[in-house]
Amino acid sequence: MDGSVSRSITIDRRPSPARPGSANHLVNRWTEAEAIGAERVRAFVLILKTRGCYWADVQGCSMCGYSRDTLGRSASSAELAQQIEEAKGAYRGEPYVKVYTSGSFLDDREVDPESRRALLAAFSGRARRFLFETLPEFVRPEAIEPLKAAFEGELEVALGLESTDPTILRKFVHKGENPEAYLDAGDRVRAIGLRSKAYLLLKPPYLTEKEAVRDVVRSIGSARSHFDAMSVNPVHIQGGTVVEWLYQRRRYRPPWLWSLVDAMRQGAEVRDGRRLVTFPTAGGRPRGPHNCGTCDAAVLGALEEASLSQEFGSLDRLDCACRTRYEREAELEPLGVEA
Ligand code: SF4
Ligand SMILES: [Zn+2]
């Protein structure tokens, strides 16, 4: 770990600590469509209440509103045990389990090692695949080996790479690490025998629609050898973020769904057999990726189907009158002119 990382990890600017028992419940849980290989399955998704992302306290990313979720202290193991019980009570045997913390599952300050192990053990032999998300600096064999031992099934580690362009990542997204840290972490995950998954961000602030598409496609091409799967996440406007500040001043529009379609179509050409998916948040809404309103549901449906089937040809057949407006606006956007 280099000096700047360890320094940033030790800076802890936090809100006032939440009262005891504030973390007795999950933030949220739901089930969703997914696939394991060619098989369609249901996924059980959990959002754990933890202290939240340390980087959100240090600086935070320009599109991420998770700093609002922080507890101001670590969740106790007793609180986490309550959350695990709640998760077990709601679980109906879905083959895929995904766990998020609004931060890093492998950061001991968010989820202590024994609680991590207990959560994995709760799904062992029942779920076939278990995904968790973490920042790359926490991907260490000491943290992962006990989880491998606790879970009979496949572990998948998700990393929020966002972009392989260092300028975009550091200056526009405001991540605390360079892309290499994420690519190296993807390699470490695979070297330990786990699946690795990268999240790529479509349209960070300060990029035009076409630049955003190019950034995602370039990132897929340069990240593919480090990851088993890549998920394209279009920006949606979260409260209290740099992106929201720009949006409220009409200096940022969430990406068009046409940009997402183009990113997936072109990304499919360069993914080299890796799984490529997109499941947009707030799709079709004003603060999420959207088109004209008339075609949004059909375009989102086609994107989900392409993600589940890994067949991207149907995206070529999508069309709507708003596609022409999108092309016109994208042409004028670098000039700072509205169509
Ligand atoms: S995007 Fe990830 S790293 Fe950035 S502040 Fe949010 S949770 Fe932390
Ligand atoms: Zn349309």
8 Å CB contact between 213 and 333: no
Q: Name the CATH architecture for the domain at 3-335.
A: Alpha-Beta Barrel (3.20)
Give the mean model confidence (pLDDT) for residues 91-104: 97
Q: Which residue type is seen at 248? A: Q
Tokens of 150: 């606790």
C-beta of residue 43 within 8 angstroms of C-beta of residue 34: yes
Q: Which atom of ligand 1 is nearest to the CA of 67?
A: 5
Q: What is the mean pLDDT of residues 212-219?
A: 98
Binning pLDDT at 50, 70 and 90, where does residue 338 land? low
The pocket of ion ligand 2, defined by CB under 5 A, consists of 291-292, 294-295, 320, 322
Q: Is 160 in the pocket of ligand 1 (CB under 6 A)?
A: yes
For residue range 260-308, list pLDDT tens digits in order.
Answer: 999 999 999 999 999 999 999 999 999 999 999 999 999 999 999 999 9
pLDDT tens, position by position, 216-259 = 999 999 999 999 999 999 999 999 999 999 999 999 999 999 99
Q: CA–CA separation, 121 vs 128, rounded Å?
A: 12
pLDDT of residue 333: 84
The amino acid occupying position 62 is S
Distance CA 12, CA 54 (A): 7
Name the closest-CA residue to atom 7, ligand 1: 103
Provide mean pLDDT across the span 192-206: 97
CB-based contact 314:270 (threshold 8 Å): no
Q: Enter the pTM of the model.
A: 0.94
Residue located via tokens 């990406």: 255
Closest ligand to the CA of 292: 2
Distance CA(55)–CA(57), nearest Å, equals 5
pLDDT at residue number 276: 98
Label the pairing between strands 39-47 and 28-36. antiparallel
Q: How far apart are CA 334 and CA 276, in angstroms?
A: 29
- Quick one: pLDDT at residue 317? 96
**3-state secondary structure at position 198:** strand
Provide the sign of the torsion angle of the four alpha carbons 63, 69, 74, 77, taken in this order: negative
**Spatial CA neighbour of 261 closest among 206, 205, 322, 207:** 322
Q: Which pair of structure tokens corresponds to residue 93?
A: 């045997």
- pLDDT-derived band at 339 (thresholds 50, 70, 90) equals low
Ligand located closest to 326 CA = 2
Number of H helices, E strands in the chain: 12, 8
The token duo for 299 is 């375009």
The CA distance from 100 to 310, in Å, is: 24
CA of 324 to the centre of ligand 1 (A): 35
